[in-house]
Amino acid sequence: MKRKVYIETSIPSFYYEVRTEPAMVARRETTRRWWATERGYFDLFTSVFARGELERGQFPGKSEALAMINAIELLQAVPPIEQIVSIYVQHHLMPGKDLGDAYHLAIASYYEVDYLLTWNCRHLANVNKQEHIETVNKQIGLKVPRLITPDSLFSENAEDPYAT
């Protein structure tokens, strides 16, 4: 059985990144390498929230990023997701102004994905927030996906890289 990965907005964004600063180039190349070599080992999912963030953005490669995310299976925004997002905001787990990150985490948690793949190291793949996320999700009975960047999800064993 393949593990499940939620693809957050920053993944297709960085796949088509055009900035030339070394950090941006490194993220783009890592994202492209992960997409080329690792994604086939997983069942990929995303949400209407990731799609919506890309649609609202203005950046080079937008149409390509949208095509990339449109090819991924959507996890539905069922009614409990709104309540989970509200709990995240009440517990200061996620910002209350822009709810995108809260929705990504809520959907990935609700659907029990194994990994939430992101370059968002401020609100999602942030080790300083991990314990707080675990505490809140445990209180409401949700699994916590591993919140990681593509450079942390490369296999070492080519024969059976992600065997469970």
Q: Please, are residues 144 and 33 in contact by the beta-carbon 8 Å criterion?
A: no
pLDDT at 157: 61
Q: Contact at 8 Å (CB) between 16 and 126?
A: no
| Domains, the chain | 3-152 (3.40.50.1010)
Supply the DSSP symbol for 150: G
What is the reported pLDDT for 161?
Answer: 62
Q: Which residues of 2-37 are buried (b: 16+ CB within 10 A; e: fewer)?
A: eebbbbbbbbbbbbbbeeeeeeeeebbebbeebbee
Report pLDDT for 95: 81
State which residues of the chain have pLDDT below 70. 157-164
β-bridge partners, 73: 45
Q: Where are the alpha helices (DSSP H) in 71-139?
A: 79-90, 100-110, 127-139
For the entire predicted model, the pTM comes to 0.93
At 155 the pLDDT is 83
Q: Residue 143 is encoded by which pair of tokens?
A: 């699994």
pLDDT at residue 82, rounded to an integer: 95
Partners of 6 in the beta sheet? 45, 116
pLDDT given at position 162: 56
